[in-house]
Structures are given as structure tokens and as C-alpha cells.
Amino acid sequence: MGRHNSRHPVASIDRIARVNELLKRSLADNMETLGFNENGKIVSITRVHCCSSLKNATVYVSVLGAENEEEERAILQKILKRKSELQMLMSQEVILKYTPVLHFVLDHSVAEGDHVLELIMKMEDSGEVEDAGR
């Protein structure tokens, strides 16, 4: 029978999901407090993914209202400059044995979804497809 290595505890899937959600809420609140939403752009944490040891977390960030990818990258750089502050604030709100090291990446899934919906609406307006709501 296999045994878990006691030096490297592995969190349960349910616990990881709960920690992911707690980190997401904490980071979203702190980013709003620190003023990342500016000039009509809204920075949104779309999801957080902790590794099984809870020592690292990938934070997926979406920037709504950005004109182009250059603006998104500029906002990501602002986030990265204040990463240690966000990490510290999060560690005060979400108490864990180890505070996960945060790794921020851009998430384009919201923008891609908006684009698909825009295309569908154009097709409905032009009569290429029937309105699904009818």
C-alpha cells in the first residue's frame, strides 16, 4: 500500500478549492482597495489555482476595458510591482501554514467570451441566425 510522504503533505481537492476561493476574494478586495481599477479599466481576478502543497498559486487576471494587450501588460506590471504588498495583505486575511507564493498571469477568457457574444449578436442582427431567446 502507498503511503503519503509526511514531509510533503498534500491538501485534499476540496480544501484546495476552498483555499482558491478565499485567495481569489482576498486578492480581489485588496486590488480594489489598492486602486488597480483606474481610468475606466477594471482588474478582475478570474480564478486562482493553488498547487497541492499550497505553497504556490497562479492568479489569473483579466483587465476589462483595456484597449489592447499592451495596456493589459502595463497593468500586469503594476500588479507585479506591488506583488509583495498583495502577498502580505492576503497572508493577514487568509491564515494558512504557508502563504502561497503568488504568480500573476493575464487571462483572456473573459475578453474572448465577450468577442464570441458580440459576433453572435451581429449574426442575429443581420439575420444569419435566429435569436436564441425567441
CATH classification at residue 79 = 3.30.300.20
pLDDT grade for 122, boundaries at 50, 70 and 90: confident
The candidate with the shortest Cα–Cα distance to 41, out of 58, 62, 70, is 62
Report if residue 130 sits inside a domain: no
Q: Give Cα separations from 103 to 31, 59, 61 (angstroms).
A: 15, 6, 10
Contact at 8 Å (CB) between 16 and 50?
Answer: yes
Residues forming beta bridges with residue 49, ordered by sequence position: 58
Residue 39 lies in a domain: yes
Q: Which domain holds residue 57?
A: 13-108
Q: What is the pTM of this model?
A: 0.74
Question: Which has the minimum average pLDDT: 9-13, 29-33, 82-86?
Answer: 9-13
User: Which cell is 102 given?
Assistant: 503568488
- Residue 4: inside a domain: no
Question: Would residue 40 count as lying in a domain?
Answer: yes
Percent of the chain having pLDDT more than 90? 40
Q: Is residue 52 part of a domain?
A: yes
Q: What is the pLDDT of residue 58?
A: 96
- Once rounded to an integer, what is the mean pLDDT over residues 34-56? 87
> What's CA 67's distance to the chain center, in Å?
19
